[in-house]
Structure 1
């Protein structure tokens, strides 16, 4: 397995008491998902992970970690490789304590630089029991925490379940939440795209709708609809992002549909405009294939006379990658941090 922390956790699957629940976090590489196990179920907030779980024969749920809907005091074992967002991790630990039967065990794993020892210590304080620790190396740790009595004060999870005000601008008051990539900021690359969008599409006529690939909480979706006065179809791999984007569209009374999908694979039809700020990070690592998948989807969904606008960090070789999918690639803006690349004439 590529992720040593998950490999360390997976070693305990085979001897775990059941029923068991695997809370599949954002770090998992879908190639590392094992075959389903008897007595195990899984829950994920990622569409691509859910597809892989189904292929591997897992009993699974796809949602924004709605652990409140799971049976209380039911599971003998719960497994979690800690997520990137601290508030999300605290929420999952708090809820796990509610779901475990008397004497049930929460298994945590992660890397030292991700704060795994702090998570284990806080989970142990919540349970009132000391943790059993083991490690693969100096950087990769795991712990088992038993829940055998009344729990302590819940860990601070910033009301994870609830949408809350995110950074606003002159046009929109966005709502967002922990668990969405960049949930508490306006991405500078997306803001750059919005500021130049009208001029970038000026040579192209008949743009009456658009597709936003990887919409997050909906910043590009809402501004594209506002600037061009068109409906926007938005899609994201993350269940929390889809929920937030749907809410923001409704709140702003903008036209659009939001779907949970992997790089727009299941979105039907073609669009005269595709916009994308590709989230090149998958979990904690840089996913070199992710940008390729967004480019392929953009080419598949773009009309022959349409235009796609991508914004990326300067170090992403988007132009070289895009040449495999588009006949025309133009770097229109470079501000020293981000670049806007205009793509047209899809190869299909």
Structure 2
């Protein structure tokens, strides 16, 4: 999945003489073995990632210089930030990483030209006097600056935003907590709303697959506090947002990182999902295809899988192949809700 170098890394390969003059802390949209390429050409970098799948893959490569979480704990003489898909997430990563760097540290930003990297000068302006464009190739660009103004100590709480979500039956609104780059970060999307409106009453052990900001899980627990809820995601920022959302509403669930269903144990009465559709700038089906093909094995007899998806995606065929049937229970034009039950 991460084997081939991305165009951004191919462009960076032309600049290894500059990038390997000092060990770097590498973070952001990591999609290949760029750290390995850097280590072959010079000092091994430290890696910080909020992506559990990438963290696991690097560990499997034998790389122990990697951290997974909401903020790094160890810095390096320099920083290489690969532009994430959300500008707010880039601001967050700079704020989290730069306090660990000394004044005079070299700062590099790279990314796809259509992915927001052209905003590098503005993003680095609070920390640097001058930002230079070092290279542009493969529709990607590399910027360089020097840290001349120490970054303020990082405080996660200052990056938490939120909104209220009205519920039915005169219940108090849910308070949703979000972090940069997390799905449903600013509002309840229409797909999640359609899903929530069509879940009905659930029972027993429930898995919120791809929990995001915890909107679905918190809604379920608010309606039915007796549920035994587990919330999984590959994003450390999503997991933290879910924990904050649950705590803000005095709700409890088991929240943990999982690459698909790989870290899940046992079986469930229900799996509920608003699965990812985009990863970085690319359409991304792998996680959902893996879920649809294996979900049946994680359900008790009579247990159900319910998910929302863009109407044009070919998920019914995949669900039918695994479960033997697929029911479309709701449509709102853009989204469809699919449900399947384990019958054997």
Fold conserved between structures, TM > 0.5: yes
CA–CA separation in structure 1 for the residues paired with 2:273 and 2:121: 37
Report the RMSD for the aligned CA atoms in angstroms.
Answer: 2.8
Alignment counterpart, residue 256 of structure 2, candidates 249, 256, 259: 259
Deviation larger for 225-234 or 240-249:
225-234
**Pairs within 5 Å for 1:183-194:** 183-194=185-196
Counterparts in 2 of 1:47 and 1:105: CA distance versus 1, 3 Å: same
Alignment match, 2:170:
none
Residues 30 and 52 in structure 1, CA contact (< 8 A), matched pair in contact too: no
Residues 211 and 271 in structure 1, CA contact (< 8 A), matched pair in contact too: yes
**Pairs within 5 Å for 1:192-271:** 192-198=194-200, 207-228=203-224, 229-271=226-268
Alignment counterpart, residue 289 of structure 1, candidates 267, 286, 297: 286
Alignment counterpart, residue 61 of structure 1, candidates 59, 67, 72: 67
**Corresponding residue pairs, total:** 329
Shift of 1:312: 0.5
Counterparts in 2 of 1:342 and 1:31: CA distance versus 1, 3 Å: farther
Counterparts in 2 of 1:293 and 1:160: CA distance versus 1, 3 Å: farther
- Residue 6 in structure 1 maps to residue 3 in structure 2: no
CA–CA separation in structure 2 for the residues paired with 1:284 and 1:217: 21
CA–CA separation in structure 1 for the residues paired with 2:289 and 2:232: 17
Deviation larger for 96-105 or 338-347:
96-105
Deviations 1:273-321 (A, max 9, x none): 1100111211221112221022234223111221110110111111012
SS of residue paired to 2:246: helix
Deviations 1:153-175 (A, max 9, x none): 98xx9978532223422331111
Alignment match, 1:321:
318
CA–CA separation in structure 1 for the residues paired with 2:163 and 2:208: 20
Deviations 1:51-80 (A, max 9, x none): 01111222100101x14x334xxx333211
Residues 35 and 47 in structure 2, CA contact (< 8 A), matched pair in contact too: no
**Structure 2 gaps, min length 5:** 168-172
CA–CA separation in structure 1 for the residues paired with 2:121 and 2:155: 19
Counterparts in 2 of 1:110 and 1:260: CA distance versus 1, 3 Å: same
- Residue 40 in structure 1 maps to residue 45 in structure 2: yes
Residues 38 and 44 in structure 2, CA contact (< 8 A), matched pair in contact too: no
Counterparts in 2 of 1:44 and 1:11: CA distance versus 1, 3 Å: farther
Deviation larger for 46-55 or 119-128:
119-128
Shift of 1:190: 1.2
Alignment counterpart, residue 54 of structure 2, candidates 41, 49, 52: 49
Shift of 1:208: 1.6
Deviations 1:113-151 (A, max 9, x none): 2231221354256311341421114x321112233x446
Residues 16 and 38 in structure 2, CA contact (< 8 A), matched pair in contact too: no
CA–CA separation in structure 1 for the residues paired with 2:38 and 2:113: 29
Alignment match, 1:20:
24
CA–CA separation in structure 2 for the residues paired with 1:176 and 1:150: 28
Alignment match, 2:145:
145
Residues 97 and 127 in structure 1, CA contact (< 8 A), matched pair in contact too: no
SS of residue paired to 1:79: strand
Shift of 1:244: 1.6
Deviations 1:151-207 (A, max 9, x none): 6x98xx9978532223422331111121212311112111111111117x7xxxxx3
Counterparts in 2 of 1:91 and 1:335: CA distance versus 1, 3 Å: closer
SS of residue paired to 1:263: coil
Counterparts in 2 of 1:194 and 1:94: CA distance versus 1, 3 Å: closer
Alignment match, 1:204:
none
